[in-house]
Amino acid sequence: MAKILILNGPNLNLLGQRQPEIYGATTLSDIEASCAKLGQSLGFETELRQSNHEGVLIDWIHEARGTTAGIVINPGAYSHTSVAILDALNAYEAPVIEVHISNIHKREAFRHHSFVSTRAEAVIAGCGPHGYELALRHLAVIAGA
Ligand code: CA2
């Protein structure tokens, strides 16, 4: 079964615990469970990981080369700063979908630009945690689960 890696960047471990007015009440474990369930119905095995460390995320992207059919990534604040994550994704051969829980374009100007968006096949922002499920559904179409 094709595997999809779902990567999450800094502070996303706090989902559902802080700032519910921006990020909602859903936890990362809830997202992991809903993605596993949907993934199964689409013919994917999913694995969700989160790190607060840029280098760890980069190592995971390298590991995903040749072993996964796609990456769903919410790079968190690294979206707006990290050329290194962009470079790692550029060395990854399968589709990449970028997800943001909030609509970054309705927020501060510094969140409007994402380095990762220049690599991503698609960008989903402002759909809340549902964005991860939309990303999986899109991968099922373009990565041919
Ligand atoms: O909207 C998104 O998904 C973001 O990637 C979230 C990042 C933010 O820096 C990006 O601009 C947009 C922040 C993640 C922080 O997550 C928290 C969740 C709950 C409580 C505090 C932080």
Report pLDDT digits (tens) over 7-28. 999 999 999 998 888 888 999 9
What residues act catalytically?
23, 100
β pairing state of 2-8 and 96-100: unpaired
5 SS3 class: strand
Per-residue pLDDT tens digits for 127-137:
999 999 999 99
Give the span between the Cα atoms of 119 and 136, in whole angstroms.
Answer: 17
Regarding the beta carbon of 23 and ligand 1, being less than 6 Å apart is answered yes
